[in-house]
Amino acid sequence: MSPRITELEVTDIRFPTSLQLDGSDAMNPDPDYSAAYVALRTDDPTVEGYGFTFTIGRGNDVAAAAIRALAPYVVGRPAPRTAADLGTVYRDLTHDSQLRWLGPEKGVMHMAAGAVVNAAWDLAARRAGQPVWRFLAGMSPEELVGLVDFRYLTDALTPDEALEILRAAEPGRAERAARLLAEGYPGYATSPGWLGYDDGKLVRLAKEAVTDGFTQIKLKVGADLDDDVRRLRLAREAVGPGIRIAVDANQRWDVAEAVRWMQALAPFDPYWIEEPTSPDDILAHAAIRRAQPARVATGEHVANRVMFKQLLQAGAVDVVQIDAARVAGVNENLAILLLAAKYGVPVCPHAGGVGLCELVQHLAMFDYVGVSGAWEDRAIEYVDHLHEHFEDPVVLRAGRYRAPEAPGFSARMLEDSVAAHRYPDGPVWQEQTPSAAPPERTGDTAHRTTN
């Protein structure tokens, strides 16, 4: 008999990264990288799955509560194994009318659905004995299309068009998978560019990134124009003319301010401007793209496949940045990959945070093997934070992500790390001074629902 899901466990895990200003930017000056962490247990102790949604501290308990609200949709059902099973899980989690009212298909509830959907993918890939990127690459074009919710998309992408894209990529899958295993997938380094770092640290980390084999780095901008001009000049002098430097404003600007700022930075040849304005404002992105020389990139806060569709339809974006934990998991990210392929726009995933590099590498690698068939002008963001807390952490060599070979979604955290960083009662948080630790909250830090 197939095992059944018996338990949904949610744990509030936080890391005090604000103490060193790791992750600091113009909009988020004091992030504590956090995960509302999901474990799906079954009546077979060898069958389980893990997932999470990422936050930056306060609010992680809200995300955890939203995940708990989804327990009735998974507890008691057979553990997923096939594409059809995973399509059903995704639809059940995103189509409940009363929960959907909170979005619809956006915000904390949608991110919660993504955490559970991704845990289901981890579970199914573990059962198959394959990493998620290979698990996806082993599915037929028809199975893959069946994973996607095409509602609201057919004016831009129909199921038949998606089938055509996937069938065109199918003959080269084995060759591209072999190349991926041999060479790895390109990455780019964000670690040098946090706004809280002083100039000396910026220059040192930028040079180290080039030494480590990265051909692109990224700097945070948007707090002070004079500071940004100085920092970008220093970075360009440190890495030379042959290295791409992307910049990221984290939604800081209105249109006119974005144009003025990017024109001032233009002498240093910024490769793209990321999140220049509100992630919901398609027309503003289009206007910024027209009025200054850098490419426009966005996606880490884009709420769903419909917003990505509009960005592409409006010619508002040059680089699509999927996020493994922002939308409703693998299924919705597959829809976005297909939209990007239809419009011929490269995908450079957002990563960093807690475990986002671990997750999104699978999606980018599957895009190369099974959807776009390309990695030119594509790279996965890399941030050298917190990987040591994962059972199957990312591995980079010479600026490239090595393809994961362990079964699953690389989402499982080490038990000692979970225990140490559980909020607010884990020892890491008990050791924080009142001024350093976020406000305490009441209520359980872990919740189990059984059937």
- Alpha carbon 162 to its chain centroid, in Å, reads 23
Q: Which helix (H) or strand (E) holds 189?
A: strand 185-193
Known catalytic residue at 350: yes
Q: Which has the closest alpha carbon to 248: 223, 212, 284?
A: 223
- Alpha carbon 254 to its chain centroid, in Å, reads 25
Catalytic residue among 106, 342, 350, 421: 350
Residue 140 makes CB contacts below 8 A (sequence gap 6+) with none
> Are 399 and 213 in contact, with CB atoms under 8 Å apart?
yes
Gap between the Cα atoms of 376 and 346, Å rounded = 8
The backbone torsions φ and ψ at residue 50, rounded to the nearest 5 degrees and listed phi first, read -130, 145
CA dihedral of residues 182, 185, 186, 187 (deg, nearest 10): -130
> Are 116 and 38 in contact, with CB atoms under 8 Å apart?
yes
Task: Report how far apart, in Å, the C-alpha atoms of 30 and of each of 19, 69, 325, 351 are.
Answer: 8, 29, 20, 18
Q: Which helix (H) or strand (E) holds 440?
A: none
**Buried b / exposed e along 54-83 (16+ C-beta atoms within 10 A):** bbbbeebbbbbbbbbebbebbbebebbbeb
pTM exceeding the 0.75 threshold for the entire prediction: yes
Known catalytic residue at 220: yes
Residue 380 makes CB contacts below 8 A (sequence gap 6+) with 185, 186, 187, 188, 348, 349, 351, 357, 360, 361, 364, 401
Gap between the Cα atoms of 117 and 326, Å rounded = 12
Render each residue's pLDDT in the chain as its tens digit; 451 residues: 789 999 999 999 999 988 877 776 767 778 899 999 999 999 999 999 999 999 999 999 999 999 999 999 999 999 999 999 999 999 999 999 999 999 999 999 999 999 999 999 999 999 999 999 999 999 999 999 999 999 999 999 999 999 999 999 999 999 999 999 999 999 999 999 888 899 999 999 999 999 999 999 999 999 999 999 999 999 999 999 999 999 999 999 999 999 999 999 999 999 999 999 999 999 999 999 999 999 999 999 999 999 999 999 999 999 999 999 999 999 999 999 999 999 999 999 999 899 999 999 999 999 999 999 999 999 999 999 899 999 999 999 999 999 999 999 999 999 999 999 999 999 999 998 554 444 444 443 333 433 3
> Are 89 and 108 in contact, with CB atoms under 8 Å apart?
no
Gap between the Cα atoms of 180 and 327, Å rounded = 26
> Are 335 and 159 in contact, with CB atoms under 8 Å apart?
no
Gap between the Cα atoms of 102 and 271, Å rounded = 37
Tokens of 199: 């100039």
Angle at 86 between CA 83 and CA 87, to 5 degrees: 85
Q: Determine how β-strand 244-248 pairs with β-strand 319-320.
A: unpaired
Residue 433 buriedness (CB in 10 A; 0-12 / 13-18 / 19+): exposed
